[in-house]
Amino acid sequence: VRIGEEVQALPRPGRLSEGNAFTALTTRAEAFRRLVEAFRDLNFDEPAREARLTLCAACGLSPTAMIAAPDERLGQAAARLGEFAVRRADGEPLSKIIGRREFWGLPLFVSRDVLDPRPETETIVEAAVALFAGRRSEPIRVLDLGVGSGALLCALLIEFPAARGLGVDRSEAAAAVARANIEACGLAERAEVRIGDWADGVDGPFDLIVSNPPYVPSGDIANLPREVRDHDPRAALDGGADGLEAFRAILPASAVLLSPDGRLIVEVGAGQARSVLAMAAEAGFRDAAKWRDLAGVERAVAGRSPRRV
Ligand SMILES: C[S@@+](CC[C@H](N)C(=O)[O-])C[C@H]1O[C@@H](n2cnc3c(N)ncnc32)[C@H](O)[C@@H]1O
């Protein structure tokens, strides 16, 4: 698209396809207003926030810089904004459009091959920091089963500056994203990522094993919001018939790999904590306990190694 030409939005519902395409001459303030209107028409929960983020991403500006100069024209960013807006209106999460998502304050790369790291997964990092409070500077060994984008592994290695970590994922494409994030966070010396089926072929011991496995019951996937259903990988979501399939593999394998004073922390879906606690007790874990996320949902289960010190 040449500067000054109308950016032709694809035929989609909502105002974005009704001849209100952005041009190089559109001001930022006007673009913002149109985006808010379009996102509001599409019943987005936070149209103004989404509009601001979309506009900032397309223009490559911080929110502060954007607010400081509302009368600037879009210029070359018009084409990008048109594309971003139509993709967002079509249900693609902004993180997947711009390829970035923040987790534990880290600006991570994401792609269609990895689950978007979620704020509720930070519960695992919070639990780890609390459970290992007296051991923050020790060279603990961390295993992340289903490493995905590397979000958990990166956050944990930042919180435990002497720790070393191994991440495992069955998806080669996800492992590549994890490696890129590890490198970008400056953690390459302390972390390794392998392709594998959970803990198969992994040698312990580990002091901390974490996992945010796929836990959505297969039959519920069709009813997920389209941002999730259509844009997160199925392998990151599908937890089998009852949603608990991955825990049946991860819990017994972790019991063998943990050091005697080690801990396992797994994320669970809403309503699954009780079942996973029972599975943990059956696998021999001691002092198994639930952890709530910021919304008050029982989000993680943590337990002590079955082996005694
Ligand atoms: C819910 S995502 C979690 C990603 C990341 N740890 C996070 O918390 O954002 C689950 C990950 O487990 C991986 N996975 C699924 N089945 C697996 C298996 N059998 N062995 C290893 N990884 C698996 C998926 O590819 C996906 O990356």
Q: Would you say the CB of residue 82 lies under 6 angstroms from ligand 1? A: no
The protein residue whose alpha carbon is closest to atom 9 in ligand 1 is: 117
* Weakest mean pLDDT among 1-10, 227-236, 285-294: 1-10
Q: State the distance from the centre of ligand 1 to the C-alpha of 150, rounded, in angstroms.
A: 10
Q: What is the mean pLDDT of the chain?
A: 92
Which of 112, 170, 266 most suits a substitution to test ligand 1, by most atoms within 8 Å of the C-beta?
170
Task: Quickly state the pLDDT bin for 211 (edges 50, 70, 90).
Answer: very high
Q: How far is the CA of 239 from the centre of ligand 1 (A)?
A: 10
Q: Identify the top-confidence range among 50-54, 151-155, 225-229.
A: 151-155
Q: Report the distance separating Cα 207 and Cα 286, nearest Å.
A: 15
Q: Is 213 in the pocket of ligand 1 (CB under 6 A)?
A: yes
pLDDT digit string, tens, across residues 160-173: 999 999 999 999 99
- Smallest CA-to-CA distance from 150 within 189, 120, 194 is with 194
Ligand 1 center from residue 89 Cα (angstroms): 28
Report the alpha-carbon distance of residue 212 to residue 214 in Å, rounded. 7
Residue 19 has pLDDT above 50, yes or no: no
Q: What SS3 state is found at 128? A: helix
* CA-wise closest residue to 277 among 258, 302, 254, 242: 302
Sheet containing 206-211: order of strands: 191-195, 164-169, 141-145, 206-211, 258-267, 298-304, 286-292
pLDDT above 90: residue 5: no
Query: Which DSSP symbol is given to 133?
Result: G
Strands 141-145 and 206-211, how do they pair?
parallel
Mean pLDDT computed over 1-21: 44
In terms of pTM, does the model score above 0.85?
A: yes
By percentage, how much of the chain surpasses pLDDT 90? 88
Distance 41 CA to ligand 1 centre (A): 35
Instruction: For residue 58, give the amino acid letter.
Output: A
pLDDT bucket at 4, cuts 50 / 70 / 90: very low
- What is residue 8's predicted lDDT score, i.e. its pLDDT? 40
Q: Which of 163, 131, 130 is nearest to 144 (CA)?
A: 163
What's the CA dihedral at 290, 296, 299, 301 to 10 degrees?
A: -10
Q: What is the pLDDT of residue 20?
A: 52
**Residue 108 in contact with residue 254, Cβ under 8 Å?**
no
What is the pLDDT, as a whole number, of residue 308? Answer: 78
pLDDT of residue 138: 97
Q: What is the mean pLDDT of residues 242-268?
A: 97
Give the Cβ contact number of residue 124 at 10 Å: 27
Q: What is the mean pLDDT of residues 174-193?
A: 98
For Cα atoms 18, 24, 29, give the angle at the middle one, nearest 5 degrees: 75
Residue at token pair 């084409």: 79
Place of tokens 């209100």: 20
Sign, CA dihedral 166-169-172-178, equals negative
Q: Which helix (H) or strand (E) holds 259?
A: strand 258-267
